[in-house]
């Protein structure tokens, strides 16, 4: 792409306006619970969250005649609507030339291990439909003149299955799906925060939420009751769990809510971390062309002195520059890529520099400073040189190469008052994605009847995932839960379940947490949880630190249970309860991590498990980096997942093998009846 693309086209891909929501329908009833008068809404299916995954589930349900309602903390909040990168990626089967091989794609999706084989195949084969239907709704994915989708390679993708609408792919997905939801007249309750799942002995019956606008003297918290026969949790990832985070503000997810409801979580030790600008400013991933143009990376100390700190790690200018380039498609930190002077040595160096209290910056007006000889586009590793040559990126300065390769990347920051054509960009290694989440089967069902989970709320990824597969998974499973819910007519009409008893219990629990005179505040809990997670459960972990962090997290939750959390203003009720649940979720992550490390688990994905007895020793130009000697991954750990459930008040860990997928090829005459009779929805998978 060159600057000859007209400005209005660039604007349309960066400033994506969202549609206007219709008026919300009012409650059908008012019931008295624990002395409060609470409004009641009845629906067949209820979706929590209006990101790309939740909207997909809602739209697909409505099309199948299901009576569906959406509740969302913030209609256009969350990661899909507010996050991106230089080319935000959707990972789907490659439609170029001879097409793709779904089995090979499934293998690539689950290559990092700890992923169910059937889920990987579902995401692979479902990707074609996910992409086609998004295009049908108007998602402007780029094509060549013959209709093939334009592709490139992304993280953990050796084939080139990535495509993109530009920096705002997921926001554009939300836009087209929301327009469809509005067109289909799906009731959409904005500013509604899910707080407690309601259920009877057998299955889900509804949800208790906070809607500030419902607050009255007889309902000071603004509580609202939703009665439903199917509940789809699509509330995204727990972005607030870490201080150093590129999630947009206010992403809590629902891991704590899920644990309290009795739902089982999986793989919550697995996250992604990578270089990005923080949410305190404009949270954005610095992947793709931002680094492929090879800017100068340096730090500034408190006295204002500049440090060419990467020269303390790499041996030559060529090695340094080529690895900066590779961060474009090896974006997430990966422990094993710290070895042999590969690209995650850059993440390590930046992380350590930030720990020294220095600011780390990327300057697009300077090429990397020399280590041995001056930087030259002619002295780069062969693959890097070839890519830049093919892209026509032979300009002298990184900013001109960026302007040539991806002008949208510059526009984007300009929108947020950061002009990278003039000023260097401050950034860090941040938490970006939760690969684990609520455990689901092949239809998105959880361990509680009637409850489904999709998108980042669900734990469908393994230790690693190809870039763009998160957005794909949300679309594929959003469709599958709709198919499953639609396979009976139970949710075609509003549920008439009696939720009074469950509501009483839920309101009593809330009353136990909200305390006017507790010394604990949600701000103190936030600072405590976020610092603990970023400092002790980030890219570098060790057994002692994690065990200590777990002890502290257990103590915090015990204090919350005994003292409650102080609340001074009605506007804080939802925040307080979300921090109570986040504190629980962080204990669950630490409990799982502690279990993994004490069982001998090695470094994988986002985390290096540092250990003086570890087999792997990263090197720097000055010699071995002994403090980050780490344990290698064990093959056996790839074949299983760590599950977490709340038993009493403590998150409890168990191990289960990955579900296998026999690979028995379908055969039309044999398998058609199961489709015609709906038997495919009842066939149990090997294991929940």
Ligand X SMILES: Cc1cc2nc3c(=O)[nH]c(=O)nc-3n(C[C@H](O)[C@H](O)[C@H](O)COP(=O)(O)OP(=O)(O)OC[C@H]3O[C@@H](n4cnc5c(N)ncnc54)[C@H](O)[C@@H]3O)c2cc1C
Report the interface residues with ligand X, using CB under 6 A: 48-54, 71-74, 77-80, 83-85, 88-89, 170, 193-194, 234-236, 246-247, 251-252, 254, 276, 283-285, 432-433, 455-457, 467-471, 474
Considering the complex, state which of residue 310 and residue 471 has its C-beta at the smaller distance from ligand X. 471
Strands (E), 128-178: 162-164
- Tell me if residue 362 falls in helix, strand or coil: strand
Let me know how many helices (H) and strands (E) the chain has, helices first: 20, 28
- Kindly write down the DSSP assignment for every residue of 523-558, as one continuous string: HHHHHHHHHHHHHHSSSEEEHHHHHHHHHHHHHHHH
CB 651 within 8 A of CB 588: yes
Considering the complex, state which of residue 532 and residue 575 has its C-beta at the smaller distance from ligand X. 575
Per DSSP, what are the bridge partners of residue 210? 193, 223
- Nearest CA-CA partner of 539 in 394, 350, 296: 350
Structure tokens at 486: 């639609």
Phi, psi (deg, nearest 5) at residue 33: -130, 120
Q: Which residues contact 251 (CB under 8 A, 6 or more apart)?
A: 77, 78, 79, 236, 237, 238, 239, 240
Considering the complex, state which of residue 194 and residue 497 has its C-beta at the smaller distance from ligand X. 194
Rounded CA separation 97/93 (Å): 12
- Nearest CA-CA partner of 592 in 460, 434, 456, 444: 434
Considering the complex, state which of residue 84 and residue 328 has its C-beta at the smaller distance from ligand X. 84
Considering the complex, state which of residue 389 and residue 414 has its C-beta at the smaller distance from ligand X. 414
Q: Report in angstroms how near the CB of residue 433 gets to ligand X at its nearest.
A: 5
Q: Report in angstroms how near the CB of residue 683 gets to ligand X at its nearest.
A: 26
Rounded CA separation 3/399 (Å): 12
CB 316 within 8 A of CB 371: yes
Q: Report in angstroms how near the CB of residue 470 gets to ligand X at its nearest.
A: 4
Structure tokens at 411: 């526009």
Q: Report in angstroms how near the CB of residue 551 gets to ligand X at its nearest.
A: 28
Considering the complex, state which of residue 282 and residue 351 has its C-beta at the smaller distance from ligand X. 282
Q: Which residues contact 428 (CB under 8 A, 6 or more apart)?
A: 244, 275, 276, 278, 350, 351, 354, 360
Q: Report in angstroms how near the CB of residue 122 gets to ligand X at its nearest.
A: 16
Considering the complex, state which of residue 52 and residue 399 has its C-beta at the smaller distance from ligand X. 52
Q: Report in angstroms how near the CB of residue 95 gets to ligand X at its nearest.
A: 18
Burial class of 621 by CB neighbour count within 10 A (0 to 12, 13 to 18, 19+):
middle
Q: Which residues contact 482 (CB under 8 A, 6 or more apart)?
A: 57, 60, 61, 63, 64, 66
- Nearest CA-CA partner of 160 in 175, 149, 171: 149
CB 367 within 8 A of CB 356: no
Helix (H) or strand (E) run with residue 90 in it? strand 89-91
Considering the complex, state which of residue 84 and residue 407 has its C-beta at the smaller distance from ligand X. 84
Sign of the torsion angle spanned by Cα atoms 142, 177, 436, 129: negative
Considering the complex, state which of residue 294 and residue 412 has its C-beta at the smaller distance from ligand X. 412
Rounded CA separation 500/506 (Å): 10
Considering the complex, state which of residue 268 and residue 321 has its C-beta at the smaller distance from ligand X. 268
Rounded CA separation 292/401 (Å): 9
Q: Report in angstroms how near the CB of residue 512 gets to ligand X at its nearest.
A: 19
Considering the complex, state which of residue 88 and residue 616 has its C-beta at the smaller distance from ligand X. 88
Q: Report in angstroms how near the CB of residue 129 gets to ligand X at its nearest.
A: 17
Considering the complex, state which of residue 149 and residue 322 has its C-beta at the smaller distance from ligand X. 149
Q: Report in angstroms how near the CB of residue 273 gets to ligand X at its nearest.
A: 11
Q: Report in angstroms how near the CB of residue 434 gets to ligand X at its nearest.
A: 8
Considering the complex, state which of residue 472 and residue 641 has its C-beta at the smaller distance from ligand X. 472
Considering the complex, state which of residue 73 and residue 446 has its C-beta at the smaller distance from ligand X. 73
Q: Report in angstroms how near the CB of residue 545 gets to ligand X at its nearest.
A: 25
Considering the complex, state which of residue 44 and residue 468 has its C-beta at the smaller distance from ligand X. 468
Bridging pattern class, strands 45-48 and 230-233: parallel
DSSP state of 500: H
Rounded CA separation 681/654 (Å): 27
Structure tokens at 312: 């303390």
Per DSSP, what are the bridge partners of residue 219? 216
Rounded CA separation 160/478 (Å): 24
Locus of tokens 């889920």: 119
Q: Report in angstroms how near the CB of residue 656 gets to ligand X at its nearest.
A: 23
Considering the complex, state which of residue 426 and residue 671 has its C-beta at the smaller distance from ligand X. 426
Rounded CA separation 258/263 (Å): 5
Strands (E), 18-88: 29-33, 36-42, 45-48, 68-71
Q: Report in angstroms how near the CB of residue 192 gets to ligand X at its nearest.
A: 6
- Kindly write down the DSSP assignment for every residue of 98-120, as one continuous string: T---HHHHHHHHTTTSSS-HHHH
Q: Report in angstroms how near the CB of residue 603 gets to ligand X at its nearest.
A: 23
Q: Report in angstroms how near the CB of residue 455 gets to ligand X at its nearest.
A: 2
Considering the complex, state which of residue 456 and residue 594 has its C-beta at the smaller distance from ligand X. 456
For helices 469-485 and 169-183, the axis angle rounded to 10 degrees is 20
Q: Report in angstroms how near the CB of residue 345 gets to ligand X at its nearest.
A: 22
Locus of tokens 């309601």: 198
CB 111 within 8 A of CB 469: no
Q: Report in angstroms how near the CB of residue 285 gets to ligand X at its nearest.
A: 4
């Amino acid at each position: 792409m060159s600057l000859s693309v007209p400005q209005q086209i660039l604007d349309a891909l960066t400033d994506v306006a969202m549609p206007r929501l219709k008026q919300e329908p009012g409650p059908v009833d008012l019931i008295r619970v624990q002395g409060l008068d609470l409004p009641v809404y009845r629906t067949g299916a209820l979706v929590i969250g209006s990101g790309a995954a939740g909207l997909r589930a809602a739209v697909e349900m409505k099309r199948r005649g299901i009576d569906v309602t959406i509740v969302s903390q913030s209609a256009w909040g969350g990661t899909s609507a507010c996050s991106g990168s230089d080319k935000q990626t959707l990972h789907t089967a490659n439609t170029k030339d001879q097409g793709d091989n779904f089995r090979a794609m499934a293998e690539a999706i689950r290559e990092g291990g700890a992923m169910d084989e059937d889920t990987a195949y579902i995401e692979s084969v479902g990707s074609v439909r996910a992409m086609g239907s998004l295009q049908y709704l108007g998602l402007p994915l780029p094509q060549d003149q013959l209709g093939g989708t334009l592709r490139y390679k992304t993280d953990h993708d050796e084939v080139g299955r990535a495509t993109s609408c530009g920096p705002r792919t997921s926001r554009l997905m939300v836009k087209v799906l929301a327009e469809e939801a509005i067109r289909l007249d799906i009731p959409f309750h904005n500013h509604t925060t899910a707080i407690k799942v309601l259920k009877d002995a057998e299955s889900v019956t509804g949800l208790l939420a906070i809607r500030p606008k419902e607050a009255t003297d007889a309902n000071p918290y603004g509580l609202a009751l939703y009665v439903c026969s199917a509940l789809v949790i699509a509330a995204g990832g727990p972005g607030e769990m870490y201080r150093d985070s590129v999630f947009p503000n206010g992403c809590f997810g629902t891991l704590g809510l899920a644990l309290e409801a009795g739902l089982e979580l999986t793989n919550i030790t697995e996250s992604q971390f990578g270089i990005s600008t923080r949410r305190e400013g404009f949270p954005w991933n610095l992947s793709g062309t931002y680094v492929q143009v090879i800017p100068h990376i340096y730090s500034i100390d408190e006295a204002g002195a500049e440090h060419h700190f990467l020269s303390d790690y790499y041996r030559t200018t060529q090695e340094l520059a080529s690895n900066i380039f590779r961060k474009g498609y090896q974006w997430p930190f990966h422990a094993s890529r710290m070895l042999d002077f590969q690209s995650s040595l850059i993440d390590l160096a930046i992380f350590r520099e930030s720990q020294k209290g220095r600011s780390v910056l990327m300057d697009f007006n300077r090429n990397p400073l020399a280590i041995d000889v001056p930087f030259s586009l002619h002295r780069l590793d062969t693959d890097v040189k070839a890519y830049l040559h093919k892209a026509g990126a032979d300009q002298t300065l990184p900013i001109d190469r960026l302007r040539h390769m991806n002008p949208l990347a510059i526009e984007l920051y300009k929108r947020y008052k950061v002009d990278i054509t003039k000023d260097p960009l401050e950034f860090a290694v941040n938490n970006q994605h939760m690969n684990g989440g609520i455990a689901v089967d092949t239809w998105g069902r959880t361990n509680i009847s009637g409850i489904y989970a999709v998108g980042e709320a669900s734990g469908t990824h393994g230790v690693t995932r190809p870039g763009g597969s998160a957005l794909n998974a949300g679309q594929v499973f959003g469709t599958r839960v709709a198919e499953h819910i639609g396979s009976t007519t139970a949710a075609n009409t509003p549920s008439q379940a009696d939720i009074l008893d469950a509501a009483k219990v839920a309101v009593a629990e809330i009353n136990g947490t909200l305390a006017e005179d507790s010394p604990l505040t949600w701000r103190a809990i936030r600072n405590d949880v976020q610092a603990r997670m970023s400092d002790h459960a980030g890219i570098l972990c060790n057994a002692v630190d994690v065990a200590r962090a777990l002890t502290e997290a257990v103590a915090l939750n015990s204090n919350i249970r005994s003292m409650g959390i102080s609340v001074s203003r009605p506007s804080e009720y939802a925040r307080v309860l979300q921090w109570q649940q986040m504190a629980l979720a962080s204990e669950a992550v630490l409990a799982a991590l502690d279990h993994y490390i004490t069982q001998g688990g090695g470094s994988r994905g986002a985390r290096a498990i540092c250990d003086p007895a570890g087999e792997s020793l990263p090197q720097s130009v000055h010699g071995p980096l002994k403090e980050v000697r780490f344990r290698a991954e064990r093959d056996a750990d790839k074949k299983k997942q760590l599950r977490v459930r709340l038993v009493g008040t403590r998150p409890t860990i168990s191990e289960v093998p990955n579900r296998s997928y026999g690979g028995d090829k379908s055969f039309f005459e044999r398998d058609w009846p199961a489709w015609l009779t709906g038997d495919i929805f009842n066939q149990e998978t090997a294991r929940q």
